[in-house]
Amino acid sequence: MEAQQPILGKSLPFRTINDVAIHFQYKSTCIEYITQLRWNGHVKCAFCGHDHVYELKGANVRYKCASCRKHFSALKGTIFENSTIPLAKWFMAIFIMTTHRKGISSVQVGRDIGVTQKSAWFMMQRVRNAFKNQSFTYDKIGESIKKDENDNPIPGIVEADETYIGGKPVNMHKKKQDAIVKRGSQRKIAVAGAVQRGGEVRLQEIEQTDYNNIVPFLVKSVHQGTKLMTDEHVAYGTMDRLYEHQTITHVLKEYVRGEVSTNAIENFWSLLKRGIYGTYHFISPYHVQNYLEEFAFRFNSRDITEAQRFDKMVSLSNHRLSYQKLICHGKNKANEKKDEKRKTIAGYGRPKYPV
């Protein structure tokens, strides 16, 4: 019989950043908390997943696997692994990120917890990467989440739309304006979104707002047969084959017709853009999906308490991200250099001389 998961937020008596600092002031408390969230009293090997492990003696709690014989701790494979920053500051940074509705800059986080801006940015990117990895296990939206008076499920309603993220050319430097004129198009970031009324939101960066990009996103994110509300964009022209599709015509100044509207997804776009333009000002195209998942996580957990949201975030932190991989934009140049050096030492890279 599988062990029951701990009830989120029940054992955390805090609501403010000061409460977090006091509750997690000792490293042993932080380790115990992570261990409970990760394994719930039944420790498993962080390398092979074997459930037979030994607890080693020492100042810090460590374990040894009976199968692969490797040593590990509760931090192995998490965003906290090999970090010189105290866990108390990590927890304060996570609490700050999960409670600010429109996000917070790395400069401000660095000032609040007492680290440099570069360290704060790396910490926040690790947290966002955990949000992104969680999105791979998302369920489709559109299922019934409410019931009527006769206890019958009410069909879910999903609104879908697309938007662009990026500045206006009139506000850019002259060099960037000239580059746009030379290129012939403005490189704004296209984002597709779908939100269930009273439920969760799904977001994805797409190359273009056309049929070939929007339809696969909707098929992956929304249950077939769901009531789908969109605007008059041509990419949604064949949605009635998969969904109960209804359209609102914005070009004719029509925004609500009975239950047909896209106001919920439009409201989320306003929240997203106020956070990006007002807080972050600029985001790299390579990191766009991470920022989208950050806003989606806060939106999807809006009905739970701060402690429960913090609990949920720490439980998703089993995804390590190195700084080298983060800044190399998907190309691990450090490993490539190590491979070249290893081949040279082994003799593979030695120059060939004529006999």
d(C-alpha 217, C-alpha 194), whole Å: 9
**How far is 79 from 130, CA to CA, in rounded Å?**
8
pLDDT confidence of residue 339: 53
- What's the rounded Cα separation, in Å, for the pair 224 and 228? 10
pLDDT for residue 6: 47
Distances 48 to 1, 104, 134, 230 between C-alpha atoms, Å: 21, 37, 21, 46
**Domains assigned to the chain:** 146-282 (3.30.420)
pTM of the model: 0.83
Question: pLDDT digit string (tens) for 259-309?
Answer: 999 999 999 999 999 999 899 988 888 899 999 999 999 999 999 888 889
Instruction: Give the model's pLDDT for residue 288.
Output: 92
Residue 39 to residues 35, 73, 244, Cα–Cα distance (Å): 6, 12, 43
Residues 14, 307 contacting (CB under 8 angstroms): yes
Q: What pLDDT digit, counting tens, does each position of 88-100 carry?
A: 999 999 999 999 9
* 3-state DSSP helix/strand/coil % of the chain, to nearest 5: 45, 15, 40
Helix, strand, or coil (residue 3): coil
Q: How far apart are CA 207 and CA 344, in angstroms?
A: 41
Query: Quick one: how far is CA 338 from the chain centroid?
Result: 30
Measured at the alpha carbon of residue 308, what is the angle toward residues 108 and 125, in degrees to the nearest 5? 40
- What pLDDT is recorded for position 122? 94
Low-confidence ranges of the chain (pLDDT < 50): 1-8, 330, 332-334, 341-355
Q: pLDDT value at position 331?
A: 52
| Nearest in space to 91 (alpha carbons), one of 169, 37, 156, 145 | 37
